[in-house]
A and B are shown apart, each in its own frame.
Chain A
Amino acid sequence: MSMPDENANECTLSAVLVSMKNISLYFNQQVVFDDFCFDIYAGDKIALLGKSGIGKSSLMKLISGIERQSSGLIENRALRIGYVFQEPRLLPWLDVAQNITEVMKAQGIPNHQRESQLDELLNKVGLTGYKHYFPHQLSGGMAQRVSLARAFSIRPDLLLLDEPFSALDKHSTDELSQLLQQFLTEKISMIYISHDIEQVIKVTSKCLLLRPSAPPLSCNTSTLQERELFINHIYPSKVNSLCPTQF
């Protein structure tokens, strides 16, 4: 599987943050990726789309270093990676403050900065009074806010979002999406997995659709034609209802 570099002209202007060359990944003799090539540039905001089981999360795991590729080369120049999973993944025995500061500590952020940064982050996510609460004392939405604060606490070069709001209700999802937009800066590169196209398009500038037995399809979401074509691949029945009014 290889990706045509459709945005080459735009991309050469900025530095490559993550370069994946000829990546293959097999699980129990089943091919997840074969000869996959993909570059992430500094500042890229990419929506990663595709059916369940196509390898979206595996791609994120390869980039973050959790998973090892069967063959190929990944050059990752991102010094700090923030990751927000579908579930908050807070360590249950650490309180909110510790869950965030331990990550900062691991990234070498000095003690005096940690405290002030923590207060600032908790204020931003609206959890100032919950500093010493344990994860089991928080609601799902609150826990996911902590997870988001934790990811941003290290000022990441690359942010990986793996369906971060899919377990939340509409109200919490909207709140957290707004929060995410507040946190995002131009410098941060991001890969965002979600089945909610509307939500993704608000915060991303590129889309990458992974397809079974076919090369991935990329799309710059700022162009209407490309977007129509792109959405047609994912939700053929929704093209008329979604475009162009809702975007």
Chain B
Amino acid sequence: MSSYKVKKQRVIKKLFAQLAGGLALIAFWQYLADQLSHMILASPSQTISYMVELFLDAEFWQTMLVSLTRLTIALSVACFIGFSLGVMAGRKSWLRDFLAPTRWLLMSVPPVIVVLLAMLWFGMGSSMVIFITVILLTPTVYLNTQKNIAQINSQWLELATIYQFSHYQCLRNIYIPAIAPALCATLVMVCCNGVRIVVLAEVLGSHEGIGYQLTSASSNFETAELYAWVLVSLLLVAFLELLLLKPIQHKLLHWQGENA
């Protein structure tokens, strides 16, 4: 059998398994909705029909824009700070030691405390949401980058020294590709957590965004609307993974071929 056919079969099997898993979840949801009151759990059909209504509403897209803007800014800042410091600390042990207490503090403090302090410092709104997200995501990016940079094969760095690679060449041709698998995993983790944190922060202290819509639906006992927004936030994660992370992953790991 040709490798193309084998690959095609593997893709079909994968898609079939994922579809079956998704359908099983929906079936379980339907079963629970039948058992429970619709005030507690809306059925999949109610939720989806409300979601279609949402998609046709201009306000929905404004809400999405607000949350997406916050998420984009927070993710960009967290990734930039975490990655830059991680690369430097991975190479310089004094910086690693210097940043160790801050890293420990940020990773140990309960998120609710960060939320309370952020509300106190920034009040309600975008600044608070972005601040919380950055504070909670940066240490993850930093730690994963730093650990993986420190473990880069020294032979490659020797090569860079011999042939006098510039800092940019080292970053582009050695550091980033060498830690790419770990970096991709970190980006997935950070993106998913980013959506969660942004929504959580919006629930607790914002007048707009997906989180605010969730609070509003919940307090009005609009169960179908509530679940529609939950589904929207899940779809947001899926889209981020599909439209942002997959291309990055492909770009960074394409050299591995089918093993990527």
A contacts, CB < 8 Å to B: 61, 64-66, 81, 83, 85, 87, 89, 91-95, 98, 102-103, 105-107, 134, 154
Task: Specify which chain A residues have a CB less than 8 angstroms from the CB of B177 in the assembled complex.
Answer: 91, 93-94
| B218 interface residue (CB < 8 Å to A) | no
- Closest A residue, CB atoms, query B161: A66
A-B contact count (CB 8 A): 46
A207 and B41 alpha carbons, distance in the complex (Å): 85
A65 and B161 contact, CB distance less than 8 A: yes
Task: Specify which chain A residues have a CB less than 8 angstroms from the CB of B161 in the assembled complex.
Answer: 64-66
A95 and B161 alpha carbons, distance in the complex (Å): 20
Task: Specify which chain B residues have a CB less than 8 angstroms from the CB of A94 in the assembled complex.
Answer: 173, 177, 255
Consensus secondary structure, chain B interface: helix
In this complex, which of B159, B161, B163, B173 has the most chain A Cβ atoms within 10 angstroms of its Cβ? Answer: B163
A107 and B162 contact, CB distance less than 8 A: no
| Residues 170-215 of B contacting A (Cβ, < 8 Å) | 173-174, 177, 180
B164 and A102 contact, CB distance less than 8 A: no
Consensus secondary structure, chain A interface: loop
A94 and B159 alpha carbons, distance in the complex (Å): 14
A87 and B173 alpha carbons, distance in the complex (Å): 19
Task: Specify which chain B residues have a CB less than 8 angstroms from the CB of A134 in the assembled complex.
Answer: 255
A85 and B159 alpha carbons, distance in the complex (Å): 10
A95: shortest Cβ distance to chain B, in Å?
8
A105 and B169 contact, CB distance less than 8 A: yes
- Closest A residue, CB atoms, query B154: A66
A89 and B174 alpha carbons, distance in the complex (Å): 12
B contacts, CB < 8 Å to A: 155-156, 158-159, 161-166, 169, 173-174, 177, 180, 255
B159 and A106 contact, CB distance less than 8 A: no
Task: Specify which chain A residues have a CB less than 8 angstroms from the CB of B156 in the assembled complex.
Answer: 89, 91
B180 and A93 contact, CB distance less than 8 A: yes
A91 and B165 contact, CB distance less than 8 A: no
Which single member of A64, A85, A91, A95 contacts B174 (CB below 8 Å)? A91
B173: shortest Cβ distance to chain A, in Å?
6
B174 and A107 contact, CB distance less than 8 A: no
Task: Specify which chain B residues have a CB less than 8 angstroms from the CB of A105 in the assembled complex.
Answer: 169
- New A-B contacts (4) at CB < 8 Å, excluding given A65-B161, A87-B155, A103-B163: A93-B173, A102-B165, A105-B169, A154-B163
A164: shortest Cβ distance to chain B, in Å?
14
A134: shortest Cβ distance to chain B, in Å?
5
Task: Specify which chain B residues have a CB less than 8 angstroms from the CB of A102 in the assembled complex.
Answer: 165, 169, 173
B159 and A89 contact, CB distance less than 8 A: yes
Query: Can you list the 6 inter-chain pairs with the closest CB atoms, starting with the nearest?
Result: A93-B177, A93-B255, A103-B163, A66-B158, A83-B162, A106-B165
